[in-house]
Structure 1
Amino acid sequence: MRHTLPLAPQFYVTAPQPCPYLEGRMERKLFTALQGDNAERLNDALSKQGFRRSQNVLYRPSCADCAACLSARIRVADFTPSKSQKRTLRRNRALERRATSPWATEDQYDLFRRYLDSRHADGGMADMDVFEFAAMVEETPIRSRVIEYAEGDSGALTAVCLTDVLDDGLSMVYSFFEPGRPRDSLGTYIILDHIEIAREADLPYVYLGYWVPGSPKMGYKAKFSGLEVYRGGTWEPVHDPASFAADTHPLSTDPIAEQVANISLPDMRAGPYRR
C-alpha cells in the first residue's frame, strides 16, 4: 500500500511548560509539520499569520490565558533608522556580509557556543551540541540562507543569521554574534542589514520573530520604526509600544479548535511551488 502525505496539514498542541520570557507563566505552542512539495507555500501562508519556523516545524504560541507573544515584522518602506541605529551602522561598517547555503561550519558553532555561554547560559538551547546545531541550520525544507558577517581585515566571523526567504520578505529564524562587543550592538546591526537586504530585493517585510511586552529580552524589537504585530487575526502598526501590555486574562486565547478553523491555508493541490 502506498502512503501519501495528507493534503491538509495536521495541527497539534504542545504540553504546557515554563515560559522563557515571562516569569511565573506557562507556555504552549500550536504547531504543524513543514514537509512535502508544498512546504514553501505553507510557510509563506502561515508566516503571514504569526507562525515561525524551527527546522521542519511551524509553530505559534497558544497559551491558555496569555496572549503576550506577538509576531513582529518591520515594514521596510516605513523604516527610518534612529540616531542610535545610525551610530550602530557606522560602528560596524567594516563588517563584510556574505550569504551562503544553509550549511553549518565549525566557525559558526564556535561563535554560537560563545554567544550562548555569555548571553543564554540557562536557556533552552544551552546544551545544544554540534550535531543539534547542524540540524538547526541545515534541516530546512524551504529556501533558506546563512548570512555571515566577518571582519574585513582579518576575516574573523563576527555574526550569523539563519534567514528564510519568503514571498513577501525575510524571516530571521535565529541570529547570534560575538558577545564580547556589547558597544557594537551587533544584534541590532543584523536587523538593520536585513532591512537593507530586503530593500535591495524589493521585499516589503523583515520578520523578527516574537515581541513580548514586559520581557527585557525582547525590548529591542520595539525600537525599530515601521514595526507591526499580528494580533487578533490581523497585522497592526505599533505606534506606542507602551500601549501593549503583557497582562493575563482567561479569555486571551481562543479555543484550539477555533484557532485552527481560522487559519487560512494555501491551496495544497496546486503542485510544487515555483519562484
Structure 2
Amino acid sequence: MSSNTPRQPVRDLRFFLTVPHACSYLAGREATTLFLDPQESPGQGVYDSLALLGFRRSGRHLYRPHCEGCNACISVRLPVEEFARSRSQRRLARRNADLTLHLRPAIFDPEHYSLYSRYICTRHADGDMYPPSHEQYRTFLTLDQEYARLMEFRLEGQLVAVAAYDQLEHGLSAIYTFFAPDPELERRSLGTFAVLTLVEQARRRGLPHVYLGYWISECRKMAYKRDFQPLEMLDGRHWRRLINS
C-alpha cells in the first residue's frame, strides 16, 4: 500500500473545531483547530491514517490547523532514504558523538520533568506553555500507547535532552524536544541533533519518513526545518516536494 494512502477510512470518525483563539506563531492572527473526538482512542490505526492527512498528536489529542482564510501551517516530512547530512550537520554529529542514547516509553519521569521545567522557564517564559506544571507535562508528553516513545540523551550520565516521538507504520513523528538550557551546551544544537537521531532511528527500522510537524515560512522559530533536505509538504491529500527548498 502506498504511504500516501490512508490505511483505513476516517469518514466515520467525529471531529470538532475549537473557537478562534490567538495564533501561537503569527502575531495578530486568529487560529482554529480541528481535532478528533476526545472519546475516540488515538489507537495506532486511526493515528496512522490521520498522520497522512496532516494531523499531529498532543497528549491524547489528534489535531490539525483549520483556520479560515489562512494556510500558513504546512505539514512537512523528510524522506529518509533521500536525506544526506549537510557539512554542518556532519560536524554536529561528531560533536555529539560522546552522548549516549536511551529509548524509553512515554511515561512520567521526575528527572525528565525537572529538565522540561528548566527549559520552559529559561527559553519559553513568554509563551503559552509558561509556567510549566506536572499536569501540563503529563497531558502533553506522556501517553500509555506502545507507539509513544521518548529518546534520552545523556552526557557522562547526566540527562541533557529528551525528544518525544511516535512510531507510525510509515515513519517516525517528532513531537517535542527539550534540553538543558546551559550555555556550555549551546554548540551541541541538541534540538537539531535530536532530528538527526530520529532520521537514523527511522532508517534502522526501515521506515520511509520522519514527520517534522508544521512549517510556517514567516515563523523564525521554524526556520531550522528547512535545514533538512529534501522536504516534502502536504498539498491537499498528496505529499509533494517542497518547491524552492
Q: Does structure 1 residue 76 correspond to structure 2 residue 76?
A: no
Contact persistence 2:103–2:152 (CA under 8 A) = yes
Name the counterpart of 1:257: none
For 2:12 and 2:144, how far apart are their aligned partners in 1?
Answer: 20
Identity %: 38
Unaligned runs of 5+ in 2: 1-10
Please state whether the residue corresponding to 2:233 is helix, strand or coil.
strand
The alignment's TM-score, normalised by the length of structure 1, stands at: 0.80
Q: 1:146 to 1:35 in 2, by over 3 A?
A: farther
Match of 2:238 among 234, 238, 244: 234
Q: Does structure 1 residue 184 correspond to structure 2 residue 199?
A: no
- Cα drift, residue 37 of structure 1: 6.9
Name the counterpart of 2:7: none
Q: Does structure 1 residue 210 correspond to structure 2 residue 222?
A: no
Q: How many residues align?
A: 234
Letter in 2 for 1:77: E
Contact persistence 2:121–2:131 (CA under 8 A) = no
Alignment of 1:110-129 (within 5 A): 110-129=114-133
Q: Deviations over 1:40-99 (max 9, x none)?
A: 111000001100011121111011111010111110011011111111111111111100
For 2:159 and 2:33, how far apart are their aligned partners in 1?
Answer: 34
Please state whether the residue corresponding to 2:192 is helix, strand or coil.
helix
Please state whether the residue corresponding to 1:103 is helix, strand or coil.
coil
For 1:158 and 1:8, how far apart are their aligned partners in 2?
Answer: 43
Contact persistence 2:16–2:37 (CA under 8 A) = no
Higher RCO, Cα 8 Å, sep 6+: 1
Name the counterpart of 2:14: 10
- Cα drift, residue 127 of structure 1: 2.1
For 2:149 and 2:180, how far apart are their aligned partners in 1?
Answer: 20
Contact persistence 2:105–2:146 (CA under 8 A) = no
Name the counterpart of 1:133: 137
Letter in 2 for 1:87: R
Structure label with greater radius of gyration = 1
Q: Deviations over 1:148-190 (max 9, x none)?
A: 1111x2x110111111110011111111111222221111000
Alignment of 1:1-275 (within 5 A): 8-33=12-37, 39-141=43-145, 143-151=147-155, 153=156, 155-180=157-182, 181-241=185-245
- Cα drift, residue 239 of structure 1: 4.2
Contact persistence 2:120–2:131 (CA under 8 A) = no
Please state whether the residue corresponding to 2:69 is helix, strand or coil.
coil
Letter in 2 for 1:207: Y
Q: Which runs of 4+ in 1 moved over 4 A?
A: 34-38
For 1:224 and 1:233, how far apart are their aligned partners in 2?
Answer: 22
